[in-house]
Structure 1
Amino acid sequence: MQNEINIPIILDAVRKVGDVFLKDYKQNLIPQSMDELLQQLEDIDTLCLTSLKEDLSQEFPDIPWHIGDEFDTDSQRNPAEQQEYWLCDAMDGAIQYLQHIAGWTVNLALIRNGKPYFSVIYDPLANEMFWAREGEGAFMNGKLLELSRKTDLAIMLAVFEYGHQDKSNNTLNEKIGATVTKLLSNFGIVRNYGPHGLQLAYVGAGRIDLFVQEDLDTYNWIAGLLIAKEAGAEILTTAGNPWKWGSESLLVAQKSTTEKYLQMKLTN
């Protein structure tokens, strides 16, 4: 039998390590070589996972841990075999962090029976903690999240993203380019921000009106997906089918906006 979770303990653990990163923000030298970049990314992963494991192991001693390696395409196609596990994106937007740019978060999700059951996204720079538990709504700093109620595409903010999988032997670059063209042709404001999970949480908070991505990026999405879903957003593929683990595209917005986007796909 799976136990209930102590949400305040989880939030405190995520806040603690996020605030460590905040204290060190802009203290590193911006990496100037691939070796330096990879080493600093590894240091971020190590610091984050060590801190979270230390703080959560006593409360949840039997829950195993998985690092969400966004560069490992194959591992993102299916959930792990364990019935329950932590999936940690040590830092979503780590490149921004290393480049001394805003837009980085600590993300943690609890996966149960192959689906996100609880997730948290902490933005230390903004002091904003987004979290959701399945079936109970989504929150930011204790306030219930609500989707945007906009109906006019001319004032909507749409964002697009892309992942790190190899695009040399497929048509993904062309798909991404077509998606950007479609957004520019139909939405008043189009952006690419960086931290995937935070953008999905922003959909839940009504700050972003539509999120779309044309490749496989499960680990970057998973924490934000639950937050957006619990706030009431539709979670679809760009073909209009319900999103499931391993889907190779993602479309997230309020229902009326996804319907408009999918109609664009049919008519453009």
Structure 2
Amino acid sequence: MTDPALLPPVLQAARILGTWLAQQERPRPARTMAEFKDVFDAVDTPAAALLHQHLDPLLPGVPWAEDLYARPLPAGELWVVDVMDGAVQYLQGLPQWSISITLVQDREPVATVLHSPLLGESYTAARGHGAHRNGAPITPSDKQDPAVALLATSQPPFIAAQPEAATAAGRSLSALLPLVGAVRNLGPTSWQIADTAAGRIDAFWQYGRDDENLLGPTLIAREAGTLVTDTTGTPWQAGSDSFLAAPPALHQQVLTLIAPR
């Protein structure tokens, strides 16, 4: 099955899972980390099982990536999946969550689907075939002045394990806040990058290694014509320790603004 041909059945699988998740009764928010793990597993385990039923037959034998925060992305073909992207929001009863499914070949994303059941929207992209929202092509913002730009940012899960990323995030936020129109964190990292590719957000940056959340939307952003690099201007790749997605007219300006001084 070619990469573009994968998108319709993968999107259908994401919609089935999204409907199931939206119908679940939200538990009471966890009061401790132990409770959070129990609450999370109670949703994540059956959600993953449901998605396996629909995803695995498409490419028999292709594994799901596991524990990308603890080891480098392996070579070969694999699925990078987040069945509850924005789990914290989902479990808190907030609407900013989605489903993320990406096929990766030799550490490069080749097909991806992001689906938000509450918004009724889906982003899709296949390598060399453009990026779309609900079937319509997307393009990034054409703004030229950071002073009127809406920027977004986030952080990897378990950022305490990457203290240098937390430090850089604080420094960059302090540098940008006085010079741009606004900075927001609007939910899942992947969805915010896709919204950047579609021009709803003007640029997105983040510090820290976060392959699981960055691989899929990187494909969407690049296919839409967005520049995707690390914060030194080097093309982003799996394992990079920083990330910036911005349209050509803003990319270098944002790089300059967040550069250490």
TM-score normalized by the length of structure 2? 0.92
For residues 61 and 260 of structure 2, the distance between their equivalents in structure 1, rounded to whole angstroms, comes to 51
2:77 matched to 1:80?
no
Distance 2:185 2:236 in 1: 21
CA pair 214-105 structure 1, distance change in 2 beyond 3 A? same
Q: Give the C-alpha shift of residue 8 in structure 1.
A: 1.4
- The CA distance in 1 between the partners of 2:259 and 2:50, in whole Å, is 48
Could you tell me how far apart the structure 2 residues matched to 1:170 and 1:58 are? 40
Matched, 1:149 2:149: no
1:135-170 C-alpha deviation (Å, 9 max, x unpaired) = 110011111111111112222110121123454784
Corresponding residue for residue 13 of structure 1:
13
Give 1:262 shift: 1.8
1:40 counterpart = 2:39:
yes
Cα distance, 1:135–1:196 mapped onto 2, change above 3 Å: same
125-134 or 40-49, which deviates more: 40-49
For the residues of structure 2 that align with 1:85 and 1:107, how far apart are their CA atoms? 14
Q: Residue 63 of structure 2 aligns with which residue?
A: 64
- Provide the rounded CA distance (Å) in 1 between the counterparts of 2:137 and 2:11: 16
The answer to which of 182-191 and 45-54 deviates more is: 45-54
Structure 1 residues 266, 40: closer, same or farther in 2, change over 3 A? closer
Query: Could you say if the C-alpha distance between residues 59 and 74 of structure 1 is closer, same or farther in structure 2, counting changes exceeding 3 Å?
Result: closer
8 Å CA contact 1:203, 1:211 repeated in 2: yes
Q: How is 1:104-115 mapped onto 2 (pairs within 5 angstroms)?
A: 104-115=97-108
**SS across alignment from 2:240:** coil
Structure 1 residues 169 and 128, CA gap change in structure 2 (3 angstroms)? closer
The unaligned stretches of length 5 or more in structure 1 are none
In the other structure, the counterpart of 2:22 is: 22
Secondary structure class of the residue paired with 1:186: coil
1:215 pairs, out of 208, 214, 217, with 208
CA contact (8 A) 1:13 1:56 kept: yes
Counterparts of 1:58 and 1:11, CA distance in 2 = 14
Matching residue of 2:155 = 162
| Greater mean deviation of Cα atoms: 2-11 or 126-135 | 2-11
* 8 A contact 2:138–2:197 mirrored in 1: yes
Matched positions, count: 260
Q: 2:239 aligns with which of 246, 255, 259?
A: 246
Q: What SS class does the counterpart of residue 178 from structure 1 fall into?
A: helix
For residues 106 and 166 of structure 1, do their structure 2 counterparts lie closer, same or farther at Cα, with a shift above 3 Å needed? closer
**Amino acid corresponding to residue 101 of structure 2 in structure 1:** L
RMSD of aligned residue pairs (Cα, Å): 1.9
Partner residue in 2 for 1:175: 168
| Matches of 1:55 and 1:116, distance apart in 2 | 20
CA distance in 2, matches of 1:86, 1:169: 25
Contact 2:96 2:188 in 1 (8 A): yes
Q: Could you say which residue in structure 2 is the equivalent of 1:184? A: 177
Are the equivalent residues in 1 in contact too, given 2:227–2:248 (CA < 8 A)?
yes
- Asked if 2 retains the 8 angstrom alpha-carbon contact of 1:158 and 1:183, the reply is no
Equivalents in 2 of 1:53, 1:73: separation in Å?
21
Which residue among 120, 128, 140 is the counterpart of 2:121?
A: 128
The CA deviation at 1:266 is: 5.0
Question: Normalized against structure 1, the TM-score is what?
Answer: 0.90
1:44 and 1:90 in contact (8 A); partners too: no
SS in 1 for 2:178: helix
